[in-house]
Amino acid sequence: MAIDKKKMATASDIAELRARTDARIAEIRATENMEIPNGATVYYVSNNGSDSASGASPETAWKTFKNVNDERLPAGSYVCFERGGLWRGKLETQEGVTYTAYGTGAKPVFYGSPENGAGSAKWKKSDVENIWYYEGSENWGDVGTLVFNEGESCAIKAIREFRENGDVYNWTTGELFNNGYKDLHTDLHF
């Protein structure tokens, strides 16, 4: 379902999109590890690894995205992230390189945010009822998507739509959005 940007998204549009997204996520999470061809160059990344290691085996796995991003990996090579692991930051993929999982358990998890925002001590109440802000996030730029309870729910970003008369609307809800966060009225919107 493609949403026409000139038409406001309805609750049923959002529900349909969320259902399709959830189904695709479930399908991806159920996939097996890729079969890697004999002779392929393979790099391993594990939360238990070390960035000073070679990355050439599960026992000498790298720990972070650093080497994966910094090294010029040969086309046709594979980067395998250990199942059950969690990485934060930006993974810079390279053309011709395949990224997959190894081991057993849950698929690897990648978060673009630099830290886990679940700690209540980082959240501060704003001057508006039921609106909270994350202390220190001013320098993050676009935070992308906010995910809660390991993917149980996701927040919906207020996309600003600028009208010819100068008014700003929240494209998602169709409501006026001239006052920024003070115009957020729906649970899980940001």
| Cα dihedral 2, 13, 141, 152 sign | negative
Number of domains observed in the structure of the chain: 2
Residue 100, Cβ density class (10 Å: 0-12 exposed, 13-18 middle, ≥19 buried) = middle
Do 44 and 100 fall within a single domain?
A: yes
| pTM greater than 0.75 (yes/no) | no
Among residues 112, 131, 162, the one where a domain terminates is: 112
Whether 15 is in a domain gets the answer no
Q: Which domain holds residue 42?
A: 38-112
Q: What is the predicted pLDDT for the residue at 60?
A: 98
Are 177 and 132 part of one and the same domain? yes
134 in a structural domain: yes
Tell me: do 177 and 154 sit in the same domain.
yes
Same domain, 49 and 106: yes
pLDDT digits (tens, 9 = 90+) for 160-174: 889 999 999 988 888
Assess if residue 108 is contained within a domain.
yes
Show which of 112, 134, 160 is a domain's final residue. Answer: 112
pLDDT at 8: 67
Q: Report how far Cα 128 is from the mean position of its chain's Cα atoms.
A: 28
The verdict on 107 and 42 lying in the same domain is yes
Given a contact cutoff of 8 angstroms between Cβ atoms, the answer to whether 112 and 144 are in contact is yes
Q: What are phi and psi of 129, to 5 degrees?
A: -55, 135
Task: Quote the CA–CA distance of 163 and 145 in Å, as a whole number.
Answer: 25
| Boundary-marking domain end, from 96, 112, 128 | 112
Span of 11-25, 97-111, 126-140 with lowest mean pLDDT = 126-140
Q: What is the 3-state secondary structure (H, E, C) of 41-69?
A: CEEEECCCCCCCCCCCCHHHCECCCHHHH
pLDDT value at residue 61: 98
